Amino acid sequence: MKLRYVFGSFALVIILASAASAQLATRENPFPETGRREDSAVFDTDKQLVLKGVITQQVSRSGQSPSYLFFRIQVRKQEGGASTWTIRIYDPQLSNLAKNCRFCLVNDYTPEMERLKVGMTVTVQGYQSKKGGNRLSLVPAAGPATTAGIIVH
């Protein structure tokens, strides 16, 4: 019985480690308050913002806060120029399911995350940071043209 448990745990670690390749692991933590504060305290949850842009950074996972994924898009401004937005993909249940797990988010949307490539045009909807920075908490969209709640063009 104990051997089966050890083998099962070892197999789970191997599966999680191999699936982690869908995301870029990074020390960067663009949403340090995630899991520490309510979303309504950080993001304007009263209104949704819709952004269309080009992916400039592949889906990444912060090593400092394994409870979310993030990626970046470049959005053209109506007045000219462009701005870069950081998009958070967050599932509050994940941090509870795999505490102290280096690969906690690997099965969140895999293999969908592998389909989101740098250079793709996407539309995201979500809540903007109350501080006014270019940070958005994704509110997943549904439909046939979506990948992990992100509309792909």
Domain boundaries, the chain: 2-152
Q: Which mean pLDDT values do the consecutive 10-residue runs of the chain (153 residues) have?
A: 47 39 63 75 92 94 76 94 92 48 47 84 94 89 83 92
pLDDT at res. 53: 98
Residue 60: strand, helix, or coil: strand
Question: E-assigned strands of the chain?
Answer: 24-26, 49-62, 68-76, 82-90, 121-128, 135-138, 146-147, 150-152
What distance in Å separates the CA atoms of residue 67 and residue 6, rounded to the nearest whole number? 25
> In the prediction, which pLDDT does 119 show?
97
Q: What is the pLDDT of residue 142?
A: 81
Q: What integer pLDDT is reported at residue 148 of this predicted model?
A: 78
pLDDT for 91 equals 64
